[in-house]
Amino acid sequence: VKLHGGEAYEMGRFRTVAERLKNYSMRMAVAGGLNQPVTAFLAALALSVIITIAMVQAQANQTTVGGFTGFVMAMLLLISPLKHLTDINQPLTRGITAAEMIFRLIDEPIEPQDGGKMLGRARGELAFEQVGFRYGEASRAALEGIELRVSPGEVVALVGPSGSGKTTLVNLVPRFFDPTGGRILLDGTPLTELSLKDLRNQIAFVSQDVVLFNDTVAANVAYGAQSDREIDMARVERALAAAYLTETVKGLPEGLNTNIGDNGMKLSGGQRQRLAIARALYKNAPILILDEATSALDSESERQVQAALEELMKGRTTLVIAHRLSTIENADRIAVLDHGRVAEQGTHAQLLAANGLYAGLHRIQFATQQG
Ligand SMILES: Nc1ncnc2c1ncn2[C@@H]1O[C@H](COP(=O)(O)OP(=O)(O)OP(=O)(O)O)[C@@H](O)[C@H]1O
Ligand SMILES: [Mg+2]
């Protein structure tokens, strides 16, 4: 905000909201304030009508003085509870509105847990069959007719221009979204037939936007494991070492037990990314998904973390996304995505020889690096 000189704009926005809030509060106060005089007035009116009738009856000797006084006293006693009755209206209305909002949230459908099939530890064979995906009301499909087979232990790199659908494709594997066309199979079983919990247990994921929790370093690395078993500190340390974080953690005031703040605020961008990688290392799952996992690192630590990741990829099915092509040259296969389709796939050498999209991307990056 400061950099763009947006103080006045933000202040204006805040003022508009505050003004609106003030108006609502005023209206509420006015309505609440009117409540009492109006009821008091109506009560007085009713009382006077009844007294008039009673007086007429008294004059006609139809009622005694005692009866009249008793009646009026009972009437007067009624006024106070009547007033309290009107006090209920305001909190009641407010409560109903709040309840409506809460119930809207409660009524959201639960994520379907689906088939109860358990895999134990998956071999890690992934198959995308004519997978298509469209976000909500988007006019264009984000993915279309994706055919991709990944054998157990194979490392497949996804490359392609920004917005070509790489992140969307990998998000389908842990079922953050379900494909709107086609299907995905793990070890020959459609994902929808697997228990969701079991499926997600098979996947370690380093996302493009690092997500960390306002908790200690150790709890972040072993995230999710706490519920099942105690945190294995030795394993946490091994994961941190592999992600080249040991030194960093040593420098923190309370080491492994240092709280890292909201989304790891107290760490640098590269340190946060390495912490996310350490979490994936800790999980030790048969499928590994890396979405721009080393993009925030300097060349030196990228090289080191890359070595750790390559070690980790051994024996695991890996989907790796990278813009920096040098990091994925050694992948078993490279699939090039373009506008939601697999434009070409093959090894680094094959794709260079084919002289298509990949060769073009590679030429541009190579030229920039040389320059
Ligand atoms: N939550 C969303 N809602 C609607 N459209 C989305 C959403 N997320 C992504 N898209 C659209 O889907 C397309 C693919 O996005 P995606 O994030 O998969 O690209 P990407 O290949 O990962 O790009 P990048 O290399 O920049 O990360 C884009 O055109 C984007 O506008
Ligand atoms: Mg992306």
Asked whether residue 118 is domain-assigned, the answer is no
Same domain, 177 and 146: yes
| 116 pLDDT above the threshold of 90 | no
Asked whether residue 348 is domain-assigned, the answer is yes
Hey, whose CA ends up nearest to atom 31 of ligand 1? 163
Asked whether residue 11 is domain-assigned, the answer is yes
Task: Please tell me if the CB atom of residue 165 comes closer than 6 angstroms to any atom of ligand 1.
Answer: yes
Same domain, 78 and 142: no
Asked whether residue 112 is domain-assigned, the answer is no
pLDDT of residue 227: 56
Same domain, 81 and 213: no
pLDDT of residue 356: 86
Same domain, 294 and 325: yes
Range in 48-52, 126-130, 299-303 with the lowest mean pLDDT: 299-303
The closest of 319, 309, 305 to 153, measured between CA atoms, is 319
pLDDT of residue 229: 62
pLDDT of residue 159: 92
Same domain, 246 and 163: yes
Ligand with the closest atom to the CA of 322? 1
Atom of ligand 1 nearest to the CA of 323: 25
Same domain, 167 and 306: yes
| 103 pLDDT above the threshold of 80 | yes
Same domain, 244 and 165: yes
Atom of ligand 1 nearest to the CA of 171: 18
Q: What is the pLDDT of residues 171-187, one digit of tens each?
A: 999 999 899 989 999 99
User: What SS3 class is residue 7?
Assistant: helix
Q: What is the pLDDT of residues 82-97, one digit of tens each?
A: 777 777 877 888 899 9
Contact indicator for 285, 239 with CB cutoff of 8 Å: no
Contact indicator for 218, 252 with CB cutoff of 8 Å: no
Tally of structural domains, the chain:
2
**Residues near ligand 2 ion, CB 5 Å cutoff:** 167, 208
Task: Please tell me if the CB atom of residue 142 comes closer than 6 angstroms to any atom of ligand 1.
Answer: yes
Question: Distance (Å, rounded) from C-alpha 215 to C-alpha 256?
Answer: 10
Kindly indicate the confidence band of residue 225, based on its pLDDT and cuts at 50, 70 and 90: low
Kindly indicate the confidence band of residue 226, based on its pLDDT and cuts at 50, 70 and 90: low
The closest of 318, 352, 312 to 332, measured between CA atoms, is 318
Contact indicator for 254, 284 with CB cutoff of 8 Å: no
Structure tokens at 365: 């990056």
pLDDT of residue 228: 53
Which residue, of 106, 138, 159, is where some domain finishes?
106
Q: What is the pLDDT of residues 12-48, one digit of tens each?
A: 999 999 999 999 999 988 887 887 788 788 888 888 8
Asked whether residue 32 is domain-assigned, the answer is yes
Domain that holds residue 345: 126-370
Contacts of 232 (CB under 8 A, 6+ apart): 222, 225
Hey, whose CA ends up nearest to atom 12 of ligand 1? 142
Q: What is the pLDDT of residues 292-334, one digit of tens each?
A: 887 777 777 787 778 778 877 888 999 999 888 888 888 899 9
Q: Average of pLDDT values for 190-200?
A: 88
Q: Average of pLDDT values for 188-207?
A: 89
Same domain, 140 and 102: no
pLDDT of residue 141: 87
Asked whether residue 117 is domain-assigned, the answer is no
Question: How high does pLDDT run on average in the chain?
Answer: 86
Asked whether residue 116 is domain-assigned, the answer is no
Using a pLDDT cut of 70, give the percent of the chain over it: 98
Task: Please tell me if the CB atom of residue 336 comes closer than 6 angstroms to any atom of ligand 1.
Answer: no
pLDDT of residue 152: 92
Same domain, 320 and 250: yes
Task: Find the farthest-apart pair of alpha carbons in the chain and give their distance in angstroms, rounded.
Answer: 118
Kindly indicate the confidence band of residue 129, based on its pLDDT and cuts at 50, 70 and 90: very high
For residue 132, give Cα distances in angstroms to 97, 227, 280: 40, 35, 27
Q: What is the pLDDT of residues 238-294, one digit of tens each?
A: 889 888 888 888 888 888 888 888 888 888 888 888 898 899 888 888 999 999 887
Hey, whose CA ends up nearest to atom 19 of ligand 1? 163
Asked whether residue 120 is domain-assigned, the answer is no
Let me know the angle formed at the C-alpha of 312 by 349 and 193, rounded to the nearest 5 degrees. 95
Same domain, 179 and 244: yes
